Structure 1
Amino acid sequence: MASTAASVSWSCSSWLHSRHLGKHNGETTRVSDRSSVMVIVAQKKAKKTRKIILKEDVVDLGKKGQLLDVKAGFYRNYLFPMGKAQIVTPVLLKEMRMEEERIEAEKKRVKEEAQQLALIFETVGAFKVKRKGGKGKLIFGSVTAQDLVDIIKAQLQREVDKRIVSLPEIRETGEYIAELKLHPEVTARLVPDLTLCWDMWQRQIGSPQKGDRMTRQGYDKVCITSKVTRAL
């Protein structure tokens, strides 16, 4: 026990001696003190994010189908419980690419069909519209988009929505251009042929007298077709 105490006492005195004072040749000298300095750098905790796809429009965030990186907590506490988004996985990315390719192929098909229909309009010739003629160049009634749609259906057996037909007001003879917006990038332009018809009163003897009844059998229909034009 005495030996252990002596050893500890010697170690402590030796440490104090080497740290503070040293004697050399009878003189007291200062022992240099070299201490190590440890630098600790605190790094900020990386924010966790999630790559998600929106399942519907979210105000101030994005549109349906948009890929975004959002905070994990925002996804966990709001987007996911509300059914507004889902995590993007490799399988989902593959499905999205396939869907995009399908949509692009469908867009291409629709555009090609519109181009083919426009070509038909350009080569079919005349779209004849019959109207009863009035005085001079005037006609009775007018020619409407619905009239043109009906004529296209009768001549080509094609259904065309009248909402895509742009037609100026036609109330007299002349050249008019109708536009059919078949596709955002395809517009067909055509000129309707206006056929005027007059009902001519005919009697075998003399001229019409006051009080005579004009019956359907008393008319001959005379029609004149304007200059034949075709789609531009």
Structure 2
Amino acid sequence: MKKKTIEVILTKDIEKVGKQGTLIKVRPGYIRNYLIPLKLGKVATPNLISQFNLQQKELKLKQIELIERCTNTKTLLENLGKFTIKKKISKNGIFFGKITKKQVLELIENKIELDIALNKNQLQLPEMKQLGDYSIEIVLTSDIIAKINLEILPE
């Protein structure tokens, strides 16, 4: 006996099922009892499928443009060289206070103007307690990660 499935276009992201705009096949009960009442999906009609295909093409173009801008930003950041921060230090070489993501963002924004707006959630800072050189990663997309060097010097 063949199990009947129906094509559905998801209107919102559903964990372990798919992302928004994905075309999937599911059982009729799942659509009737879960997807439609919670407005998470629509039954795929020929008209909706054609709209879906147009939206997918637009999304691919936007994604290609975003990847291009991110790679340009990555090359700009990596070609800048070192960023320096001056801190007061104690007798044993440990500096006072801490270096925040906001400070690093301000350093980057003061040095160059980027195509993409960065936020502090994209920065991955190592633990910095002493003077020296540190490598900071900036996650532009899941695939594109820029690495910059930060040097901490005494005042």
- In which range does the TM-score fall when normalised by the shorter chain? 0.7 to 0.9
Q: CA separation of 1:134/1:96 partners in 2, compared to 1, >3 Å: closer, same or farther? A: same
Could you tell me how far apart the structure 2 residues matched to 1:189 and 1:131 are? 22
Partner amino acid for 2:121? R
Give the gaps of 5 or more residues in structure 2. Answer: none
Whether the 8 Å CA contact 1:142–1:169 is kept in 2: the answer is no
The residue aligned with 1:147 is 103
Could you tell me how far apart the structure 1 residues matched to 2:129 and 2:143 are? 30
Partner amino acid for 1:92? L
Could you tell me how far apart the structure 2 residues matched to 1:127 and 1:193 are? 6
How does the TM-score come out when normalised to structure 1?
0.51
Whether the 8 Å CA contact 2:85–2:151 is kept in 1: the answer is yes
Query: How many pairs align?
Result: 143
* Alignment root-mean-square deviation, CA: 3.2
Could you tell me how far apart the structure 2 residues matched to 1:53 and 1:168 are? 44
Q: CA separation of 1:68/1:124 partners in 2, compared to 1, >3 Å: closer, same or farther? A: same
Report sequence identity in percent. Answer: 16
Q: CA separation of 1:50/1:185 partners in 2, compared to 1, >3 Å: closer, same or farther? A: closer
Which residue among 73, 87, 93 is the counterpart of 1:137?
A: 93
Q: Deviations over 1:116-146 (max 9, x none)?
A: 1110111122212121233253222222222
Q: CA separation of 1:123/1:99 partners in 2, compared to 1, >3 Å: closer, same or farther? A: same
Partner amino acid for 1:177? S
Which residue among 42, 54, 77 is the counterpart of 1:121?
A: 77
The residue aligned with 1:229 is none
How does the TM-score come out when normalised to structure 2?
0.72
Q: CA separation of 1:144/1:92 partners in 2, compared to 1, >3 Å: closer, same or farther? A: same
The residue aligned with 1:88 is 45
Whether the 8 Å CA contact 2:88–2:96 is kept in 1: the answer is yes
Which residue among 121, 127, 131 is the counterpart of 1:173?
A: 131
Q: Which has the larger radius of gyration?
A: 1
Alignment of 1:73-112 (within 5 A): 82=37, 84-89=41-46, 91-112=47-68
The residue aligned with 1:185 is 143
SS of aligned partner of 1:191: strand
Q: Deviations over 1:24-79 (max 9, x none)?
A: xxxxxxxxxxxxxxxxxxxxxxx9x685424557x9xx6564343766xx69x778
**What's the offset of the Cα at 1:192?**
0.7
SS of aligned partner of 1:188: strand
Partner amino acid for 1:194? I
